[in-house]
Chain A
Amino acid sequence: MGLVLPLLIFLGVTFLAPLGTMLVRSVYDPVVADALPATLTALREWNGEGLPPEAAYEAAAGEIGAAREARTLGQVASRANRLQSGLRGVFTRTGRDLREVVEGPWRDAMAAIDSAWVDPGTWHAIRAAGERITARHYLNALDMQRLADGSVARQPEERRIYLPLLWRTLLVSLAITVFCLVLGYPIAHLIAHARPRRAGLLLALVLVPFWTSLLVRTTSWIVLLQTQGVVNDLLVAIGLIGDDGRLSMVYNMTGTLVAMTHVLLPFMVLPLYSVMRSIPPLHMRAAASMGATPAQAFRRVYWPQTLPGVGAGSLLVFILAIGYYITPALVGGSSGQLISNMVAYHMQTSLNWGLAAALGALLLVGVLVLYLLYDRLVGVERMSLG
């Protein structure tokens, strides 16, 4: 027991804790609530129609000034801005210009700085951003929004991105799993039943790319597939296509499918191979001696025995594909991007970590659901990595 303790600590620190923080971030956002507590209290008196009472303006003026001093105004502003574009500028301008205002009426003073303060939409956005525990990241991740009256509606057409992208990610992962199975099954069979020397050589051909850096393999595909690349040059040279009819096979979905299938293929071949090796050749011969055609023998004797390998390989490839990031980012162009690229964008560029966390959590749930489904249909205990 003591010997696994380092592993448990390692897992806790590097896996469970970040996962937990991520899940918390997707529903918990205290920044606005901490910065504008009195404003939010005053807004509770407001029924949402017309403009809020003067008390809300007075509280907001004081707290925006204080937030500016504490240098937290930008974080408040960027959260409000996500709910209504332009509010970031309104907040920073107001914070700057309010320094010259010493007394009320605050509504007029703030309206003079920016007319957004006499737009009820601004206050709705502040109220929504002030929720400490919030579902808005999940709504956003599902292409929905909360309207001013509190009801939930779909985003306008031109802003719906995440659901189509999630759907695309699922389909692409499924397609890659099928490609890997179709390509990997015969290879695994060949290796499993070849003579030892030949099997070793073939296995090396599977393993060498597996050990090669992912980036090297991905960029090699760019070299091969690009318009002026090796494959196109070859096709032009043998006259199959004209020089002006070069195929675009990279920076689009084709590139993503080809490169990811290649990258993930070993994860299919290896479990299949180890399962197939444990199937005695006698079974097939026995089936043949009882009068089964090769197709019948395969379907009723061989295939069922490889199912644990098929299950393990497919699940492995599918789960890896669904979260894949670097390959689609490099060869995907605009049509070959997957949901993970959007997560990366919100982590690195927009700094909307709450939304990135919500998208990640949705992926996690998706994988868990599929795993449970698999368990129901096939049974996890039948899965075998060899």
Chain B
Amino acid sequence: MTALARGSAYTALLATCFVGQAAAQSITAVSYGGSYQQASIEAWYEPFAAATGIRVDVEDFNGGLAQIRAQVEVGNVFWDVVDLNASDVTLACDEGLLEYVDPQALPPGPDGTPAEEDFISGTLSDCGVGNVVWSTIYAYDANRFPGVRPETIADFFDIEKFPGRRGMRRVPMANLEFALLADGVPAEDVYAVLDTPEGVSRAFDKLDTIKDEVVWWEAGAQPPQMLADGEVVMSTAYNGRIFNAQMLEGQSFVIVWDGQLLDINQLAIVAGTPRLDEAMRLVSFASTAEALADLGRRISYGPARESAAPLITTHLETGVEMGPHLPTHPSNMARALRRDWSWWVDNQDELNERFSAWLAR
């Protein structure tokens, strides 16, 4: 019994430690790790801590909603602000896992434009505040193509013209879109075609043509690594990761923007956090045009606000002009597709199963 009493004394002591920590004003921000998280820390979290005195503890995760759901269901929320893909925000918002965010509480643009008008359409939702526009592209190592180089999304699927292994993410998302684009479907029709059973089969048939040559990746850090190792000759990837490898590691990677798939990330607040005020302050701080532009000068993800785009000038570390490296730059938008995440939210269960079955065959 004394042991039990001592045990509970320790528990109480531990509990006070944690409570003490909360009272000392610190909040937890969670994002995807790697160079994107590093840029977020430098552009948002550290300046926020300096400006407000609220410390930001940064944790990383691999996307997905399992941890958030577990915290909300158990009623022990220790994540406050999460950087999520727009489709996850929609899903989590519907499931009541995120707090609603009032767009009128967000800071206006530098010239006073209200936030609701300043944010690019579709980047604000009930629970999410858009921060970056990123894209899934494919890239190759220039050293491996001394002659003719791949230029279109169709080239990615052309094994005869460009032999060698390809890296693709092990999910149906993006791959089905790329397959249809490569099969000649115009960007504006891709989701209409995918909405029919024949369209889905058509996409899988196209993927079948390169299946034996594909090395599947899971984490965003893998494609640059596989390209550098020569494990694959080209790979789909997140554009910011390739940019970092180009700028900071001096890799001779080339991004093919043709058929790029644009995507939005949003900051969201976990439902029931005891630090709601601080969390909202962080979201507001990080969604000013200046903060978004600061991030855009560290990693090549476009800002979700119109007014932030002109503020993104040169890369802070190398001084390279950022414009042409952003997915939203006009020269990269010739054949770009915007991910229809509401379509994916509706269809992902079935397509993930079908994709797994297809992979196993």
Q: A73-B94, A226-B231, A350-B349 are in contact. Are A158 and B359 (CB under 8 A)?
A: no
Q: How far is the CB of B356 from chain A (nearest CB, A)?
A: 5
Bound Cα distance A92, B95 (Å):
11
Q: Which of B30-38, B63-71, B287-295, B297-305 touches A?
A: B63-71
Docked complex: B37-87 residues within 8 A CB-CB of A: 62, 64-66, 69
- Asked if B357 contacts A85 (CB within 8 A), the reply is no
Q: Which of A122-130, A160-168, A186-194, A293-301 touches B?
A: A160-168
Docked complex: B158-196 residues within 8 A CB-CB of A: 165, 170
* B350 interface residue (CB < 8 Å to A): yes
Chain A residues whose C-beta falls within 8 Å of the C-beta of B214 in the assembled complex: 334
Instruction: Report which of A81, A164, A226 forms a contact with B360, defined as CB distance below 8 A.
Output: A164
- Asked if B356 contacts A158 (CB within 8 A), the reply is no
- Asked if A81 contacts B349 (CB within 8 A), the reply is yes
- Asked if A75 contacts B96 (CB within 8 A), the reply is yes
Bound Cα distance A158, B354 (Å):
6
Chain B residue at minimal CB-CB distance from A226: B231
Binary contact track A82-94/B, C-beta < 8 Å → 1, others 0: 1001111100100
- Asked if A334 contacts B96 (CB within 8 A), the reply is no
Residue among B94, B165, B358 with most chain A CB within 10 A: B94
* B247 interface residue (CB < 8 Å to A): no
Chain A residues whose C-beta falls within 8 Å of the C-beta of B354 in the assembled complex: 158-159
* B345 interface residue (CB < 8 Å to A): yes
* B121 interface residue (CB < 8 Å to A): no
Chain A residues whose C-beta falls within 8 Å of the C-beta of B95 in the assembled complex: 71, 74-75, 78
* A72 interface residue (CB < 8 Å to B): yes
Instruction: Report which of B65, B91, B216, B350 forms a contact with A334, defined as CB distance below 8 A.
Output: B216
Docked complex: A27-82 residues within 8 A CB-CB of B: 70-75, 77-78, 81-82
* A228 interface residue (CB < 8 Å to B): yes
Q: Is the interface of B mostly helix, strand, loop or mixed?
A: helix
- Asked if A160 contacts B357 (CB within 8 A), the reply is yes
- Asked if B96 contacts A85 (CB within 8 A), the reply is no
- Asked if A251 contacts B215 (CB within 8 A), the reply is yes
- Asked if A161 contacts B94 (CB within 8 A), the reply is no
Q: How far is the CB of A224 from chain B (nearest CB, A)?
A: 13
* A333 interface residue (CB < 8 Å to B): yes
- Asked if B64 contacts A226 (CB within 8 A), the reply is no
Chain A residue at minimal CB-CB distance from B195: A86
Q: How far is the CB of B175 from chain A (nearest CB, A)?
A: 12
- Asked if B69 contacts A351 (CB within 8 A), the reply is yes
Residue tally, chain A, CB below 8 Å to B: 41
Bound Cα distance A337, B214 (Å):
15
- Asked if B357 contacts A81 (CB within 8 A), the reply is no
Bound Cα distance A161, B349 (Å):
13
- Asked if B96 contacts A71 (CB within 8 A), the reply is yes
Chain A residue at minimal CB-CB distance from B94: A74
- Asked if A348 contacts B64 (CB within 8 A), the reply is yes
Q: A86-B347, A228-B231 are in contact. Are A161 and B357 (CB under 8 A)?
A: yes
Chain A residue at minimal CB-CB distance from B97: A74
Q: How far is the CB of A6 from chain B (nearest CB, A)?
A: 8
Q: How far is the CB of B6 from chain A (nearest CB, A)?
A: 12
- Asked if B352 contacts A350 (CB within 8 A), the reply is yes
- Asked if A351 contacts B66 (CB within 8 A), the reply is yes
- Asked if B91 contacts A159 (CB within 8 A), the reply is no
Q: How far is the CB of A89 from chain B (nearest CB, A)?
A: 4
Residue among A70, A71, A78 with most chain B CB within 10 A: A71
Chain A residues whose C-beta falls within 8 Å of the C-beta of B170 in the assembled complex: 334
Bound Cα distance A86, B356 (Å):
19
Chain A residues whose C-beta falls within 8 Å of the C-beta of B62 in the assembled complex: 348
Bound Cα distance A165, B359 (Å):
11
Chain A residue at minimal CB-CB distance from B95: A74
* A264 interface residue (CB < 8 Å to B): no
- Asked if B64 contacts A74 (CB within 8 A), the reply is no
- Asked if B66 contacts A348 (CB within 8 A), the reply is yes
Instruction: Report which of A82, A158, A160, A334 forms a contact with B349, defined as CB distance below 8 A.
Output: A82
Chain B residue at minimal CB-CB distance from A168: B360
Chain B residues whose C-beta falls within 8 Å of the C-beta of A251 in the assembled complex: 215-216
Chain B residues whose C-beta falls within 8 Å of the C-beta of A158 in the assembled complex: 354, 357-358
Binary contact track B298-332/A, C-beta < 8 Å → 1, others 0: 00000000000000000000000000000000000
- Asked if B345 contacts A165 (CB within 8 A), the reply is no
Chain A residues whose C-beta falls within 8 Å of the C-beta of B93 in the assembled complex: 74
* B342 interface residue (CB < 8 Å to A): yes
- Asked if B216 contacts A227 (CB within 8 A), the reply is no
The 8 closest A-B pairs by CB, nearest first: A74-B94, A71-B96, A74-B95, A85-B350, A89-B346, A348-B66, A334-B359, A161-B357
Q: Which residues of B contact A (CB under 8 A)?
A: 3, 62, 64-66, 69, 91, 93-96, 165, 170, 214-216, 218, 229-231, 342, 345-350, 352-354, 356-360
Question: Could you list 23 examples of A-B contacts with CB < 8 Å?
Answer: A6-B3, A70-B96, A71-B95, A74-B91, A74-B93, A85-B349, A85-B350, A88-B94, A88-B346, A89-B345, A92-B94, A159-B354, A161-B353, A226-B231, A251-B216, A329-B218, A334-B214, A335-B360, A345-B352, A347-B66, A348-B66, A349-B64, A352-B349
With A71-B96, A227-B165 given, name 5 new contacts (CB 8 A).
A74-B93, A78-B95, A85-B346, A337-B359, A349-B64
